Chain A
Amino acid sequence: MQAPIGARLLHLVPTILLVTIIVFALQHLMPGDPAVMMAGEAAGDPHVVAQIRAQMMLDQPVWWQYLHWLDEVLQGNLGYSWRLTSPVLVLIAQKLPVTLQLAAMAFFFAVAIGVPAGVVSAVKQGTAWDWAANAIGLFGLSIPTFWLGIVLILLVSVDLGWLPPSGYVPLTQDPLRSLATTIMPSFVLGNAIAAILMRHTRSAMLTALSQDYVRTARAKGLTEQRVVIRHALRNALIPVVTLGGLQLGTLLSGAVLTEQVFDVPGIGKLVVDAVFNRDYPVIQGVVLVTGLLYILINLATDILYAVINPRLRGG
């Protein structure tokens, strides 16, 4: 297994380079002038805008800007936010833990809801349980994140007064309050993934339950619970784990919308604000870091896949 992982780690470098080139090109193709956005209410003065453009080196060719940025990155400097003047690395270091916490809790919700619902649905196929689980799946896939978010805010925060409607408290500062600020957004974020996991678990379980080894296990007189959990579920989980790993990456991108709705100051909100304000160094820095994370998560999924399925350990 070590050789393929080593090779994949080597592939990481050109992949990331390609991602940065694409993002750099896209953000320059995107309409909108960063100098005008930075000037804000002072943009009525053309000299001010021209001066900002020169200061930000936006009057240089795009390839030159890219190489300059890359040179800085190789020295460990992701640059400074044009809008906030904070180092991009500091901004990412502030925001990433928020999003990771949100994603981890969302993944927890997704697994805690999706996998049991899928198992129950498969085991009790054709019964009311199956219908109920399918309804959960349909609900999760169909309900738009922003709608569910607003409805939950109105219901849980405004009407019931149980949880704060938005904001964030770091886990290290006050764990309980941190949970209070992230339960709703992580539930909303995990909801759609739960639906996907439920459907895949159901399908994989149905396949597993019809296999000979399950029939054999039953013939040996094992309890139904043992058959389902030890024999069927363990095998059914292989594709589900792969999917779960891929969805972890999706959680990072899904956080963009959820963080907007709940005003959670994570990496998604950081990049959205950066895009709206054409804060190029922040966009590039965030893409670089999340791209790396995405690739590493996929790598970790492959490793986990091999752990669960011994046949893949040969490499």
Chain B
Amino acid sequence: MRAMVFAAAMLLGFVAPTLAPAPALAAGPTTLRIGLREDPDILDPTLSGSYVGRIVYAGMCDKLFDYDPKLDIVPQLATSYSWKDPTHLILHLRAGVLFQDGEKMDADSVKYTLNRDLTMPRSLRKGQINDIAAMNVIDPLTLEIVLKQPNSAFLAQLAGRPGIVLAPKAAEQEGDKFGLHPVCAGPFRFVQRIPQQKIVLERFKRYWNAKAIHFDRLEYIPIVNSAVTLANLQAGALDMAEYVVPTDVAAVEKDPKLRIAMDTSLANYGITFNVGNGPEAKSPIGESADLRRAFDLSIDRNALIHVVFNGLYTPIGQANPPSSKFFVPSVQPTKRDIAAAKKLVAASGIKPPIDVTLMVSNSPDILQAAQVIQAMVQPAGFNVKIQATEFASSLAAARAGHFQAYMIQWSGRADADGNMYSFLHSGYGFNYGHYSNPEVDKLLDQARIAQTVPERVAIYAKIWKIEQQDMPVSYLWSPKNIVGLKKSLLGFKQVPDGIIRVQGMHFAK
């Protein structure tokens, strides 16, 4: 017994302090350790669907195009492009690019990858590029893509996961297990993944843009608990956390070794109303646009953001945040007006209190936001019952129409089509409430064909005008990309998509 107690004392009293400081756990000085908010899914760009997976790809796989901090599309593996006509896209590829297995990247590789996206069973990319009718290799560095119909959002897809070019030999050899040993043409090559623990990449010395890379290794460490993420940052066990919750910002700023980098995000949070999905759409709020507008008018977005998110987020009235090129300035977030809300309730002919069940995911900040909304809409005559539901269950309930109002986030896309089409067009998966307005459908289709940004913005302005009358979704706020990092880590450039690009980043000497 004495021996056991002694051994315990040894462990606690002697072993632990000798291992300090905690950062000593880290690898060499040129390793960059990035904390992720969750563990990514499979690391195969054709099969993966998680947001954090895109952050890992940024370290491992270059795309044909990328976004700069102003959300302009800039060349990466492609050097330029031109539209021969609205359905014929010519891509000019960068010369001398090698995949991490030594294979040369050329037009055939791009064609192979896009074909894989189009034909592979379980491909999640098919829907993004299924307008491709044909691909013609003009020469080793030129590819012509023929579309079935004009699609103004197509180029943006090549700045996303479909634009990642895979090493054909490796992809062919590994098949659907390619994600266990991915090979592409990025700055770091895949070394090891221990699920839920870390993803390790090491510098690819023959990377085409090698001079922009200043680390030997990258480690992505998934940490789900935000308090533990903060502790790891403070203890020096992470060099960077891709997301810090607003309530932890002050703690990071107080730490002399750390700093916060904060920028606008493409994400949005809103309440989707069930207006046509099954019997639960037959609720007062599902059937009356007046009531939905009254609900929207009752919410003080600024106060909500101040109380729940330390005032850091941005109130919105549309899916595209102010940082987007597709933001329509005339569509501003609704200002709280209880008198107007009451008038709309009276005009609906429905006597208060009006019961509304609001389904939300069971994370603490979102629950708190729901409680604030519950209190805010009460004076207008709404009796909100909050239904906190585990995320996957809430998605299933939403798709099955088992909800009246559903508060959910979308990670956001730089191109407006990715924030609107699947959400407001009839018959699409993110249109949980089965909102259907032929005019909106027609305008969304028109926007896909329109060739210039101003043309598209004009169409989107028309859509938002209708949306604000029908109110299938009440948009609430756009979060911020809040990155916590060591002060000694320099050269980090934020892009509103939240993806961490390691090019140009380095530790202070």
Residues of A within 8 A of B (CB): 30-33, 36-49, 51-52, 55, 83-86, 91, 94-95, 108-109, 111-113, 115-116, 119, 150, 153-154, 156-158, 160-169, 176-177, 179-181, 183, 187, 229, 260-263, 265, 269-270, 273, 276-278
Contacts and interface: CB of A to CB of B under 8 A. Distances in A.
B196 A163 contact: no
A180 B395 contact: no
Given A45-B428, A162-B16, A277-B392, A108 B124 contact: no
29 contacts: A33-B399, A36-B429, A38-B49, A41-B50, A42-B127, A42-B128, A45-B126, A45-B127, A46-B429, A51-B123, A55-B122, A85-B44, A85-B47, A85-B177, A116-B5, A162-B16, A162-B20, A166-B232, A177-B19, A181-B25, A183-B15, A260-B224, A261-B225, A262-B228, A263-B196, A263-B222, A263-B225, A270-B195, A277-B41
A278 B396 CA distance: 11
Contacts of B131: none
Given A84-B179, A85-B44, 12 more contacts: A38-B49, A41-B50, A42-B125, A43-B49, A85-B179, A112-B4, A160-B20, A164-B19, A165-B231, A166-B237, A177-B25, A179-B11
Interface string B202-222: 000000000000000000011
B357 to A, nearest CB: 16
Contacts of A162: 16-17, 19-20, 22
B234 interface: yes
B128 to A, nearest CB: 8
Q: Is the interface of A mostly helix, strand, loop or mixed?
A: helix
B499 to A, nearest CB: 13
Contacts of B391: 276
A164 B429 contact: no
B387 interface: no
Say which size band chain B's interface belongs to: 35 or more
Contacts of A261: 225, 228
A58 to B, nearest CB: 12
Given A108-B4, A273-B196, A278 B19 contact: no
Interface centre among B1, B221, B423 (most CB of A within 10 A): B1
A86 B237 contact: no
A52 B120 CA distance: 11
Interface in B209-259: 221-225, 227-228, 231-232, 234-235, 237
A166 B198 CA distance: 12
A112 B12 contact: no
Interface of B: 1, 4-5, 7-8, 11-12, 15-22, 25, 39, 41-42, 44, 47-51, 121-128, 176-177, 179-180, 194-197, 221-225, 227-228, 231-232, 234-235, 237, 390-393, 395-397, 399, 411, 421-423, 427-430
A276 B390 contact: yes
Contacts of B176: 85
Contacts of A176: 15, 18-19
A112 B6 CA distance: 9
A238 B481 CA distance: 58
B429 A44 contact: yes
A48 B7 CA distance: 57
A165 B5 contact: no
A48 B49 CA distance: 11
A47 B127 contact: yes
B159 to A, nearest CB: 15
A40 B25 contact: no
A52 B395 CA distance: 16
B235 A83 contact: no
A84 B193 CA distance: 10
6 closest A-B pairs by CB = A40-B49, A44-B422, A45-B127, A32-B392, A42-B124, A165-B231
Nearest to B398: A36
Given A33-B399, A165-B228, A265-B195, A276 B122 contact: no
Contact of B429 (A43, A83, A163): A43
A163 B20 contact: yes
Contacts of B1: 115-116, 119, 229
B22 A161 contact: yes
Nearest to A40: B49
B393 A32 contact: yes
Contacts of A31: 392-393, 396-397
Contact of A37 (B44, B395, B397): B395
B193 to A, nearest CB: 8
A57 B266 CA distance: 35
A51 B49 contact: no
B42 A85 contact: yes
